[in-house]
Amino acid sequence: MTYSLTAIGFTLIFGVLGLVNFAHGEVYMSGAFVTYTLSQFAGWGIVPSFCGGVIAGALMGMAMEKIAFKPLRNTKHETTLLATLGLSILLKEVATLIWGPETHSLSTQNKFLTSSWGTGGVEFSGTQIVIIAVSILLMIGLQQLLYKTRVGAGIRAISQNRDAAYLMGVNVERTVNYTFAIGSALGAAAGVLVALYYNAVDPHMGYMPGIKAFVAMALGGLTSIPGAVIGGIILGMSESLSGAYINSGFQDAIAFLLLLLLLILRPNGLGGKRGRS
């Protein structure tokens, strides 16, 4: 489910700009670190710390749009992609300077999160239940935002035809900035949930999930939010099955194998249509 959340963030940004934000994984990491700091040093509970991490991710996304995307919007796509790669490296180094290169423990005293239940030979932890529940709630919330609010209508209009949306009165600049905030908040939420599951936070934790979320987005067809959700689920299930029946060390390779097969067999994704180049 966390792959799906991160992939949705990719999809939202790609939908309005036609560009991939390769610093998205570092937003994922930053949300986890903010939650860790609020929880372990400020003494906040896990719920307000989680909210703080998500808000920090949203603010970070808005800042990234203003600093790295807006000034380069009229340049070649390659220029913006290189800028986001550079921003990704910069954010990792800043996190290393602030929190150090070592892995930190995001421990919690919440009894529900540390509990586990089993039935029929299958065991679930409280953390797993929370991850599934929060992910579903965030996806439902996003669906409501996109189809029940003016901001959502603006996002959908820009993703379909930017110029027509502008002529119809949509504030394009503000809506693009809001899109970055929403997509980045979802990425940060995914980072916090994964940090809670593994009880670990480190400056490089967003690198591989960021790549895998991109694969999930590609599986779903690049601009389809339901496709991103399905792509994330397919990727997660593929990794779990490969770990169970092949070798756990092969799990990371599954994402690249799926991407390779996708590029060869279905370049537009499982449910994608030909879009803008």
Q: For the chain, what percent of residues have pLDDT higher than 70?
A: 96
Which pLDDT value is given to residue 276? 44
Instruction: Say if 191 falls within a structural domain.
Output: yes
Question: Strands, E, within the chain: which ranges?
Answer: 116-119, 122-125
Residue 71: both structure tokens together: 């000034």
**pLDDT band (50, 70, 90) for residue 249:** confident
**pLDDT band (50, 70, 90) for residue 62:** very high
- Render the burial of 135-161: b for 16+ CB within 10 Å, e for the rest: beebbeebeeebeeeebbbbbbbbbee
What span, in angstroms and rounded, lies between the C-alpha atoms of 51 and 37?
13
> CA-based angle 92:254:127, to the nearest 5?
65
Instruction: Say if 134 falls within a structural domain.
Output: yes
Q: Are 95 and 30 in contact (CB under 8 A)?
A: yes
Which pLDDT value is given to residue 277? 40
The total of structural domains in the chain comes to: 1
Which pLDDT value is given to residue 275? 45
Q: Are 42 and 236 in contact (CB under 8 A)?
A: no
Q: Are 22 and 64 in contact (CB under 8 A)?
A: no
Instruction: Say if 228 falls within a structural domain.
Output: no
- Phi, psi angle pair for 104, to nearest 5°: -105, 150
What span, in angstroms and rounded, lies between the C-alpha atoms of 134 and 14?
24
Instruction: Kindly tell me the burial class for residue 219, based on how many C-beta atoms sit within 10 Å of its own C-beta (0-12, 13-18, 19 or more).
Output: buried
Instruction: Say if 132 falls within a structural domain.
Output: yes
Residue 136 Cα to chain centre, angstroms: 14
Identify the residue whose tokens are 């989680």: 50
Instruction: Kindly tell me the burial class for residue 52, based on how many C-beta atoms sit within 10 Å of its own C-beta (0-12, 13-18, 19 or more).
Output: buried
Tell me the pLDDT tens digit for each residue of 108-154: 777 777 777 777 667 778 888 899 999 999 999 999 999 999 999 99
AA identity, residue 220: G
Q: Are 31 and 189 in contact (CB under 8 A)?
A: yes
Instruction: Say if 150 falls within a structural domain.
Output: yes
Instruction: Say if 76 falls within a structural domain.
Output: yes
Which pLDDT value is given to residue 51? 96
**pLDDT band (50, 70, 90) for residue 107:** confident
Identify the residue whose tokens are 């919440």: 110
Residue 161's domain spans which residues?
1-101+125-203
Instruction: Say if 106 falls within a structural domain.
Output: no
What span, in angstroms and rounded, lies between the C-alpha atoms of 65 and 15?
14
Q: What is the pTM of this model?
A: 0.89
Tell me the pLDDT tens digit for each residue of 88-106: 999 999 999 999 999 999 8
Which pLDDT value is given to residue 250? 75
**Mean of pLDDT values over 6-33:** 90
Instruction: Say if 214 falls within a structural domain.
Output: no
Whole-angstrom CA distances from 15 to 78, 132, 214, 233 are: 17, 25, 13, 20
Q: End-to-end alpha-carbon separation of the chain, Å?
A: 29
**pLDDT band (50, 70, 90) for residue 260:** confident
